């Protein structure tokens, strides 16, 4: 009994330790109210203008200053100013979806192959090619857009400007997303599974196709989400490479009408809301797909899943 008491006394914190704990508990950094308030202020500053723009897309009148009642007339109304019945607005929505779909279908397989090739290729030049993976993070988008414009107007004049040039430019700009995200997962997985598959009789290509690619599926889906969402709201590249009005996506049309006249008011708000809807929808689908493909690995919280979607 005495030994137990002595042990308890010996492990009891001294006065200095107690004071330090009390100071830590009372420290403002223990509960950073200021930082929390700043975070919520930033969120409000970012979301309130977007919420107002979305709200006035449902305004029954043409004003963007006073609320005149709820209506869907700017989306599906019979008026020629609605997105559904205005040929210019309608074509911009279809062009945006076309560019996003084609860019995703081309960029993701190329990025996956690039990531696997860089990881498996061991030479002096392979380390230098790692810089290509972060191309879009280093080169200003405007500089790349101007270079692509000169490329398609001077060297590849047979292709010219338009949908093909826009897809080519968007593939070049977004290739870094799947390359970086998939490469990170390739490094995490390692080569043990492929070596085990080859020991069991699988070929190199068979080990990649039947073992590595299924394990890379979460990263592939995450990179597809990033590419699609990035393409939907891209402006600089598609503005430089679009030719006629039918090849202008929603972002270019909104900018052109705001600064050059034409369609305006809640109709543009409705078009911007549709663009926002597609981005949020793809992000939600990507989150669900990521969570579903990683459910067998370990239990993940929502924050961890969102981090994986962002490729961080």
pLDDT at 76 over 70: yes
Instruction: Specify whether 19 is located in the same domain as 155.
Output: no
The candidate with the shortest Cα–Cα distance to 181, out of 39, 310, 290, is: 310
pLDDT category, 302, cuts 50, 70, 90? very low
Identify whether residues 8 and 78 lie together within a single domain: no
Domain membership of residue 237 as a residue range? 74-309
**Tens digits of per-residue pLDDT, 288-297?**
887 887 776 6
Q: Which residue has the higher pLDDT, 192 or 134?
A: 192
For a pLDDT cut of 70, what percent of the chain falls above it? 78
Regarding whether 54 and 147 lie in a shared domain, the answer is: no
Task: Show the 3-state SS of 181-236.
Answer: HHHHHHHHHCCHHHHHHHHCCCCHHHHHHHHHHHHHHHHHHHHHHHHHHHHHCCCH
Confidence at residue 132, expressed as pLDDT on a 0 to 100 scale: 67
The whole-number pLDDT of residue 301 equals 45
pLDDT at 306: 45
Confidence check: pLDDT of 310 > 50: no
Q: Both 224 and 273 in a single domain?
A: yes
Of 20, 37, 71, which closes a domain?
71
**Residue that finishes a domain, picked among 51, 71, 91:** 71
List pLDDT tens digits, range 30-73. Answer: 567 777 888 888 888 888 888 888 888 888 877 777 788 888 88
pLDDT, greater one: 160 or 308: 160
Q: Which residue has the higher pLDDT, 37 or 107?
A: 107
Q: Which of 264, 240, 270, 265 is nearest to 252 (CA)?
A: 240
* 23 pLDDT tier (thresholds 50, 70, 90): low
Residue 276 has a pLDDT of 87
CATH assignment at residue 288:
1.10.3720.10
pLDDT the model gives residue 312: 45
Same domain, 149 and 51: no
pLDDT bin (cut points 50, 70, 90) of residue 19 is: low
pLDDT tens readout for residues 140-191: 888 888 999 998 888 888 888 888 999 999 998 988 888 888 888 888 887 7
The answer to whether residues 11 and 44 belong to one domain is: yes
pTM of the model: 0.75
| Residue 109: pLDDT over 90 | yes
Angle in degrees, 0-180, between the axes of helices 87-120 and 250-260, rounded to the nearest 10: 130
Same domain, 127 and 174: yes
Average pLDDT, the chain: 78
pLDDT of residue 28: 52
Write down the pLDDT at residue 99.
93
Residues 159, 145, single domain; the answer is: yes
DSSP one-letter code for 258: H
The number of domains in the chain is 2
188: its two tokens: 């995490």
Which pLDDT belongs to residue 261? Answer: 59
d(CA 74, CA 71): 8
Q: How many CB atoms lie within 10 A of CB 140?
A: 10
The 10s digit of each residue's pLDDT in 234-254 is 889 998 898 877 788 888 888
């Amino acid at each position: 009994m005495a030994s137990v008491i002595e042990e308890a006394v010996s492990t009891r914190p001294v006065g200095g330790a107690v004071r330090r704990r009390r100071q830590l508990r009372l420290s403002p950094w223990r509960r950073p109210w200021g930082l929390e308030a700043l975070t919520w202020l930033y969120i409000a500053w970012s979301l309130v203008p977007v919420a107002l723009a979305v709200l006035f897309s449902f305004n029954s009148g043409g004003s963007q200053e006073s609320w005149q009642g709820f209506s869907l007339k700017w989306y599906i109304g019979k008026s020629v100013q609605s997105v559904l019945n205005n040929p210019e607005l309608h074509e911009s929505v279809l062009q945006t979806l076309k560019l996003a779909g084609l860019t995703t279908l081309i960029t993701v397989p190329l990025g996956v192959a690039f990531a696997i090739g860089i990881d498996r290729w061991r030479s002096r030049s392979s380390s230098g090619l790692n810089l290509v993976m972060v191309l879009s993070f280093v080169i200003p988008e405007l500089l790349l857009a101007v270079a692509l414009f000169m490329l398609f107007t001077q060297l590849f004049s047979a292709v010219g400007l338009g949908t093909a040039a826009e897809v080519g430019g968007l593939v070049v700009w977004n290739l870094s997303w799947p390359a970086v995200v998939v490469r990170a997962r390739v490094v995490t997985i390692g080569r043990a599974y492929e070596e085990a598959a080859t020991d069991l009789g699988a070929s190199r290509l068979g080990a990649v196709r039947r073992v590595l690619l299924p394990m890379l599926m979460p990263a592939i889906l995450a990179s597809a989400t990033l590419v699609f969402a990035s393409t939907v709201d891209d402006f600089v590249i598609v503005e430089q490479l679009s030719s006629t009005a039918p090849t202008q996506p929603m972002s270019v049309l909104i900018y052109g009408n705001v600064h050059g006249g034409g369609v305006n008011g809640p109709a543009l708000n409705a078009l911007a809301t549709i663009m926002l809807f597609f981005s949020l929808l793809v992000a939600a689908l990507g989150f669900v797909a990521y969570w579903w493909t990683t459910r067998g690995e370990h239990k993940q919280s929502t924050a961890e899943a969102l981090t994986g979607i962002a490729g961080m």
